[in-house]
Amino acid sequence: MVFAATGAQYVEYRLQCDSNEVRVWSYLPRLDRFCKPWLTLGTELFMYRWCLCKEGYVRNAWGDCISIRECMSCANERHADFNACSTACPLVCGKPEPQSCTRQCEAGCACAPGYILDPWGKMPCIPAATCPPKCPRYSSFQLCTSNCEPKCNGPL
């Protein structure tokens, strides 16, 4: 990743784009379209890219190109976006992390980064910060918004 003098983020030059992307053939990379930009982390949303989603596709909250139809399938799901490869065992507020979860992908609506399933069913996904797990004494909860699992850190 390269940062310009303006602070904008540029993706390193790639020769090939993914199957749902097209190459930008201009002098400068561009910003892409997103299904739910309000759920997307700024580092993903404001990334200048050499590969943009092809016609009929938009990026999801994780930065993957999904079809407009897949995007619309989650339109009524607050704080959720379509993910072609979501975990089969999503985190649920107040419940322990699944220990024996398969690594297989499940396509469908998934809680956006920073959100977790609501066990009470009032909303599909709630902010993870409103549901911190109980950590051992002298440790604190830190939410990791990348692909890592949320966990408690050791002594402060």
Residue by residue, DSSP assigns 1-55 as -EE-TTS-EEPPP-S---TTEEE--SSS-B---BS-GGGS-HHHHTEEBSEEEPT
What's the CA angle centered on 39, arms 79 and 43, to 5 degrees?
Answer: 150
> Is residue 83 a contact partner of residue 108, using CB atoms and an 8 Å limit?
yes
* Predicted TM-score (pTM) above 0.95: no
pLDDT score at 112: 95
For the chain, which ranges sit under pLDDT 50? 1-3, 14, 156
pLDDT score at 137: 79
Strand partners, 110: 81
φ/ψ of 126, rounded to 5, equals -125, 160
Strand partners, 2: 10
pLDDT score at 107: 93
CA distance 97 to 32: 34
- Tens-place pLDDT, residues 48-74: 999 999 999 999 999 999 999 999 999
